[in-house]
Amino acid sequence: MSDSSNQYRSSALIPGVEIYPSEWSLLNTTLLSLPKDLRIFRELRMRPLAPRHREGLLLLHKRLFPINYDSRFYDTACRIVSDDSASSSDFWSVSTLIGIGMFLPKSTIVSNCDTRSIICCATPDSSGSTSESSASCSEHTTRKETANINTRLVTPLGTESNEEGDNVDDLVDTDMFAPVDCILNDATYDRENDEFLVGFLTLWVNQQELSPMTSNNDYFALNNFYEDIVFPYLQSPASSGVSIPTLPNFDHLSGDSYRFLFSNLYTNRELLDYLSSFSLDTCKTVYLLSAGVTMGLRSRFLGTHLIMFLQSMLYFCCYNVFIYNGDMFRCSDDLREPLLSTLNLHLNTSMDENSSLELDEISESEVAPFRLSISSVLDAFSQCERMPLSIYLHVISYNKKACEMYRRANFICVTRIPDFYTIDGLQYAANLFAFYMCPPFLV
């Protein structure tokens, strides 16, 4: 594979080892042709995953990662509840696993790419517009390939599962791996909303300190690191006036980033209603199971924004805090909607990329009482003796790009765990990363 190809290759894949299905799908090569100056954050949509997204989520995971997850993981992330899953175990519970998708409208691709040779089933209707037919689409699907599909089962931790009684055909839908000559045949295409699943976040919400999802040692490592390293540092004079790497990294947020947050999080009623069922404000930790962006949209800073979206989401749902232009705001529920409307209006009237996000005098007077100074936030944090709400995850040791991305998002590498992953008989270490969420007030 050429160097130019390698720059788009998933950094989670084992170096030098190719997997099937390849990331080089027709959809991804099409996405790579999108203009580099496309304001992508104005196009993307975030929404809860639904049952119709299961095959797309599975396909993205198989393209991006060298491990296979339990099939019930995909069912739960996409809110598919079966009699079998309900009776067998409470481990995969819809009340603890959050699945969120990042979607790109098909119209964005059509407007910015020559799609004549890649949307083969588009036919003019009487009005002169185009419509797509599932039947005509399937007629253009090329012959299926049944090359070596690795059906090894592993848990989300990356350890071998080898559960008995699981039929391979029940776990892997090989139809979706067939090469296609129409992007609407890609399993990531959502016909209902006419958009493509291009990224995802899956999270495990821990309401107790110890979790069935991860080793108890993870919690003890997180807690000990906070008590032995982070909290003493907060108490030391050296921390005064110094940026603490437990706040969101505002340096990576642009005007379009804030528009993305406001339209896809703060004013996204569909997503907020979905999140309200998880009691996030009472959870102890949140484990990041998986996060990723399809190959065709890499090198656009989407991965970092996915993680900062997660951080912002938890600040909003747990602490009632939202961010705007490098500042944190907090107010009561009854005042939140008017305040968000004020900021959102200013964002939408400053649509030019170089427009200042500084508020005018009237808007400033409206929001000023609710702005939190960073010093006051750190003040409260310095008195937080117990470990606050934390986001944590494991990153396989060779994935240097992911480690750099999490550090950019102000995650801290807590420890290195040897022989954490076993893949094809080989063992790999993992880095345990954590983001200790700075509480803006004393609980």
Q: Domain limits of the chain?
A: 17-82+96-197, 202-436
Asked whether residue 52 carries a pLDDT value surpassing 90, the answer given is: yes
DSSP H helices, 277-411, are 302-319, 333-348, 361-367, 374-382, 400-408
Can you give the pLDDT at residue 93? 74
Query: Residues 71-100: what's their mean pLDDT?
Result: 78
Mean per-residue pLDDT for 369-398? 89
Instruction: Report the relative pairing of strands 285-293 and 390-396 from DSSP bridges.
Output: parallel
Name which residue leads in pLDDT, 242 or 141.
Answer: 242
Residue 189, amino acid:
Y
C-alpha span between 112 and 141 (Å, rounded) = 24
| Residue of higher predicted confidence among 293 and 359 | 293
Are 12 and 399 contacting, i.e. CB atoms less than 8 angstroms apart? yes
Q: How confident is the model at residue 418 (pLDDT cuts 50, 70, 90)?
A: very high
Q: How confident is the model at residue 353 (pLDDT cuts 50, 70, 90)?
A: low
Which whole number is the average pLDDT over 413-434?
Answer: 95
Q: What is the mean pLDDT of residues 296-304?
A: 93
The residue ranking higher by pLDDT, 207 or 181, is: 207
Single out the residue of 434, 424, 425 nearest to residue 395, CA to CA: 434
pTM listed for this prediction: 0.85
Assigned token pair, 249 = 């990294």
Q: Which two tokens stand for residue 112?
A: 């910015």
Per-chain mean pLDDT for the chain: 82
Instruction: Count CB neighbours of 112 within 10 A.
Output: 15
Instruction: Read off the pLDDT band of 360 (50, 70, 90).
Output: confident
Q: CA 338, CA 369: separation in Å to the nearest integer?
A: 13
Residues 6+ apart with CB under 8 A from 436: 226, 230, 246, 387, 388, 390, 412
**Long-range contacts: 189-193, Cβ < 8 Å, 24+?**
189/27, 189/56, 189/106, 190/52, 190/53, 190/56, 190/103, 191/132, 191/134, 192/52, 193/103, 193/105
CB 15 within 8 A of CB 144: no
SS3 148: coil
* Confidence category of residue 82, pLDDT binned at 50, 70, 90: low
Pair type for strands 195-206 and 285-293: antiparallel
Across 78-92, 132-146, 157-171, 222-236, the highest mean pLDDT is recorded for: 222-236
pLDDT beyond 90 at 85: no
Cβ–Cβ under 8 Å, residues 262 and 340: yes
In whole angstroms, give the CA distance from residue 101 to residue 306.
10
Residue 374 has pLDDT above 90, yes or no: no
Model confidence at 33: pLDDT above 60 = yes
Cα–Cα distance, 300 to 290 (Å, whole number) = 19
CA–CA dist 286, 275 (Å, integer): 13
Beta bridge partners of 392: 287, 434
Which residue type is seen at 10? S
Tokens at 250, concatenated = 């505002």
Per-residue pLDDT at 131: 47
Reported as a pLDDT band with limits 50, 70 and 90, residue 16 is: confident
Q: Which residue has the higher pLDDT, 25 or 82?
A: 25
299's CB contacts (< 8 A; 6+ apart) are 7, 8
pLDDT higher than threshold 70 for residue 316? yes
User: pLDDT at position 133, please?
Assistant: 44
5 band by pLDDT with thresholds 50, 70 and 90: low
pLDDT band at residue 134 using 50, 70 and 90 as cut-offs: very low
